[in-house]
Chains A and B, each alone.
Chain A
Amino acid sequence: MSTPNSQLPTPKLVLRSIVALFKLTWLEIKIFVREPMGVIGTIGIPVVVFLIASRLIGPRIAQTAIQTGGGPGSAVLPVLASILMALSAMSSLVTIVSIYREGGILKRLRATPLSPSVILSAHVLVKLLFTILTLAIMILLGRRYFPPGAPVPLLSYAVALTFTTWSILSIGFLIASIVPTARFAQPLAAVILYPMIVVSGLFFPVTVLPEWVQGVARLLPLGYAVSFLDGIWRGEGWSAHLGEVAALTFFFFVFTAISSRVFRWE
């Protein structure tokens, strides 16, 4: 018979889980890059769109926003690109989880010593890594469109984007938990995403919206993500945005808690 504490994680098991997480993440990265369309969609298209937009309007927008200190809602182009990247990572997470579930891959992995959180965390890590990689490529290739010496704290911004994407990915898990099949995933993600983008302040200031819509917007994570990234891009410190960091953390835990209750493995 087993001992009563056989389900408690020992240090050895925790170590095994961490090793398994890295192994699985590395494997999922390799599997991901074997599909050319996925790589083009995730990295290629955002980079190309960003470069074209930068060429057309980039220097003026980036400069204007930085010089005037901007205003809520007039997000600079890099922030716009970043948010869209995070959202596309989110929607691709929804798709991949639903495909894995439909194909019985999640079920097969779950019938191994891999813990469920390791299986799902591997996908989050893959998405975060590719988001950061895309950002790095954008910054490298887009550098010449920005005025030299613009006070952009790139490292801080990269960390902020990782954090924001991490929070936004939890919405993906929530959607992935409730969609029945992969076919439903994309439309449902779109129905939830587009209204959220509209009221996030990404394209126009939230203040032009009716009072009640602003109230709704405060209940959604995207507005916090936009003003947080915008602030960091302008060179403000994290301390000026603790409210947004707290809100994004809060949303992450709420969405993760709900999805862990309703998540279906098959």
Chain B
Amino acid sequence: MTPIIRVSGIRKTYGKTVAVDDVSFDVEEGEIFGLIGPNGAGKTTTMECVEGLRRPDRGSIAVMSLDPIRDARALQQKVGVQLQQAQLQKRIKVREAVDLWASLYPGAVDGDALLERLGLADKRQAWFMTLSGGQKQRLFIALALIHDPDVVLLDELTTGLDPQARRAIWDLVREIRTRGKTVLLTTHLMEEAERLCDRVAIVERGRVIDIGTPAGLVRRHCQNEAVVLETTDDTASSRFQAIPGVESVTWQGSQCTIRGRGGDLVTRVIQCLAEHRIHVTSFKTELPNLEDVFLTLTGHSIRE
């Protein structure tokens, strides 16, 4: 099957700055695909090339087998976009924005029903400047969906939103997928990528380092697991050291951190506790996530 979006070896420089060095990835129909990486990694530039707002210096992009710049007019009907840090006129009403957008596309969906679905029905007469951050982003999603596109491009959709608004937006994006659409998004939030994306491409300094499902990337790159527990048992330390696969046992007062490799460290620690009747007052696992994958692959944290 031809991928719905194919990005092949694109490069983009601004003067001497290399924004995108060499980026390639395929997005399959019906999936939520995330470009993840720190700010300045080249995610937005890549996205803007896919949107047809920028022309890559090298490489090629095909969206539904069309060229984003040459076939811009045909693609506008099939692709919905939400741009990073975009605004609307301060005093435009929600209703007016939706009407204007609807008038620009043949076959636009019912704007009122769309606002209803996005929870903006009671804000129809409100000026853009009076909306909260979450409401603005929901309006931008409405504008991206107004012409019922097959592909939706979302650039840093939840940046600056509080956790509650963020969760609400995630639900909306999942709903877009349920309707059979393909979503390409960028984010620097690993939690967002883990919860939302079917597959992700890790972008760092203008290059794609690896592509896979969030769980698959974790399995591939981070087999380190840790168990943190509290016990006052004097014999525990030596018992833990003896567990196969354990690499280190460190203590901070009565709190003990057991690190090891392999998928079943947690099981073996539990078996050890049961076998030797070690009494613990707390027990938690620290399983690797995409943050750890990023750290392993790049040597630095995504937040730096």
The reply to whether chain A is a binding partner of chain B is yes
Residues on A lying within 8 angstroms of B by beta carbon are 1-2, 6-7, 19-20, 23-24, 27-28, 30-31, 34-35, 100, 103-105, 107-108, 110-114
**B76 located at the interface, meaning its Cβ lies under 8 Å from any Cβ of chain A in the complex:** yes
What chain A residues lie within 8 Å of B96 (beta carbons)?
A: 27, 30
Q: Beyond A30-B96, A108-B88, A111-B83: 4 further Cβ-contacts under 8 Å?
A: A1-B65, A2-B74, A104-B83, A113-B105
B276 CB–A CB distance under 8 Å: no
Q: 0/1 per residue, B121-132, Cβ < 8 Å to A? A: 000000100000
Contact B81 A111 (CB under 8 A): yes
Q: Are A111 and B71 in contact (CB under 8 A)?
A: no
Q: Are A113 and B127 in contact (CB under 8 A)?
A: no
Contact status B104-A6, CB under 8 Å:
no
Q: Quick check: is B242 within 8 A (CB to CB) of the other chain?
A: no
Number of B residues, CB within 8 Å of A: 29
Q: Which residues of B contact A (CB under 8 A)?
A: 51, 53, 65-67, 70-74, 76-77, 81, 83, 85-92, 96, 100-101, 103-105, 127
A-B contact pairs, 18 of them (CB 8 A): A6-B70, A6-B74, A7-B72, A20-B103, A23-B103, A31-B89, A103-B87, A104-B83, A104-B85, A104-B87, A105-B86, A105-B87, A107-B53, A108-B87, A112-B101, A113-B73, A113-B77, A114-B104
Residues A6 and B100 in contact in the complex (CB < 8 Å), given A1-B65, A35-B91: no
Question: Which residues of chain A have C-beta atoms less than 8 A from B71's C-beta?
Answer: 2, 6
Give complex CA distance A31, B91 in Å: 6
Picked from B53, B88, B91, B92, the residue with its CB within 8 Å of the CB of A110 is B53
Q: In this complex, what residue of B is CB-closest to A96?
A: B89
- Cβ-neighbour of A27 out of B77, B81, B87, B100 (below 8 A): B100
Between A and B, how many residue pairs show CB distances below 8 Å?
63
Contact B104 A20 (CB under 8 A): yes
Q: Give chain A residues whose Cβ lies under 8 Å from the Cβ of B89.
A: 28, 31, 100, 105
Interface pair A107/B73, CB less than 8 Å apart: no
Chain B residues, CB < 8 A from A104: 83, 85-87
What is the CA–CA distance of A209 and B67 in the complex, to the nearest angstrom? 58
The residue in chain A whose Cβ has the minimal distance to the Cβ of B62 is: A1
Distance in Å: Cβ of B127 to nearest Cβ of chain A: 7
A114 CA / B127 CA spacing, docked (Å): 22
Q: How long is the Cα–Cα vector from A108 to B90 in the complex, in angstroms?
A: 13
Residue contact A105 to B88, C-beta cutoff 8 Å = yes
Whether A6 contacts B73 in the complex (CB less than 8 A), given A112-B101, A114-B104, comes out as yes
Report which of B70, B90, B92, B104 forms a contact with A112, defined as CB distance below 8 A.
B104
Residues of A within 8 A of B104 (CB): 20, 112-114
Query: Is B86 in contact with A107, judged by CB distance below 8 angstroms?
Result: yes
Give A110 to B54 CA distance when docked, in angstroms: 12
A28 to B86, CA, bound (A): 18
Bound-state CA distance A24–B89 (Å) is: 12
User: Which residues of the partner chain A approach B66 to less than 8 Å between Cβ atoms?
Assistant: 1-2
A107-B83, A111-B53 are contacts. A34–B91 as well, Cβ < 8 Å? yes
A1, A107, A108, most chain B CB atoms within 10 A? A108
